[in-house]
Amino acid sequence: MLDSRPVLWPTDFPPIQRRRPQTLQVNVGYRCNQSCQHCHVDAGPRRSETMGPETIGEVLALLARRDFGTLDITGGAPELCEGFRDLVSGARELGVAVIDRCNLTILEEPGQEDLAVFLASRRVEIVASLPCYLAENVEAQRGRGVFDASIRGLQRLNEFGYGDGVSGLTLSLVYNPQGPSLPPAQCALEADYKRELGERYGVRFDRLLTLANMPIKRFGSLLQSTGRFGEYLQLLKAAHQDTNLEAVMCRDLVSVDWQGYVYDCDFNQMLDLPLGGATDGRLHVRDLVAADLAGRPIRVGEHCYGCTAGQGSSCGGALV
């Protein structure tokens, strides 16, 4: 695997500071039942890193002590973490909203047959990856059979009320470009998704989130191997919009890895760039109980242009 970190640091990306964190994003492990080309986590079936019960307990202790409004659970396929359901249930008991970043095919994995029931019963918001409404595009990026399994997963979630606009069970889909290009306008593409998925498969959902591919880990290595790394980075930098700096996700979010260590965002986590402004060493989730993060500088690199290019990109989709 090629290492793109030396190219991403140092940077001329504008300095930014964080506000009071609203969202705790927790990556519970890198194990996944898929191996997608664009994956910035380099997740896959051969990865074994997973959050243990002690760290899950520390995350729940933090949620009980600090006023994070949302727990955003990601991976890998987060549902493959043995403590995933304990984490979800514990957070919901504390009154914290929970997001599950789901790849949809996990709903058909052995042992996950009741996953849809569990998520609906805990009223978990689902953010589901589906990089296109055409089978050939999805399978070029994610593997053979993934599209059909994803559609079945969406239909299963619809059966429990997800995406119906009435139940309050929110279902969002995520689009990633097929290669080194910026996402198209989110609103227009959402209309295409709703029309095509509705007419062809009877699938409904609430929102489409468009995300730019980050030039790190698996996608960064693909760019380097095809000689397009520098070209893509220049595309991101040329499309940078200062107005997007106000809304980048790292200003209101804290990222936690499977061992409990803290970062400014999930992308910095993958590059092993610890939380910016830490004067007391590498922070662990247990240290956040008493830490005041508001006003701290955010650690930035060249990859940060992926969040500010064009319409902007975050875990919540386009910024404008």
Sign of CA pseudo-dihedral 293, 299, 304, 310: positive
What does the pLDDT average to over 75-91? 96
Tens of pLDDT, residue by residue over 174-218, are 998 888 999 999 999 999 999 999 999 999 999 999 999 888 887
What does the pLDDT average to over 235-250? 95
What does the pLDDT average to over 123-148? 86
pLDDT band at 1 (very low <50, low <70, confident <90, very high): very low
Residue holding tokens 């969202």?
23
Q: Tell me the percentage of the chain whose pLDDT exceeds 90.
A: 71
Tell me what the pLDDT averaged over the chain comes to: 90
Q: What is the pTM of this model?
A: 0.93
pLDDT band at 131 (very low <50, low <70, confident <90, very high): confident
Rounded Cα distance, 162 and 230, in Å? 41
pLDDT of residue 2: 37
Note the CATH architecture for domain 5-308.
Alpha-Beta Barrel (3.20)
pLDDT band at 39 (very low <50, low <70, confident <90, very high): low
What does the pLDDT average to over 137-143? 76
For 93, other C-beta atoms within 10 Å of its C-beta total 12
Rounded Cα distance, 126 and 73, in Å? 10
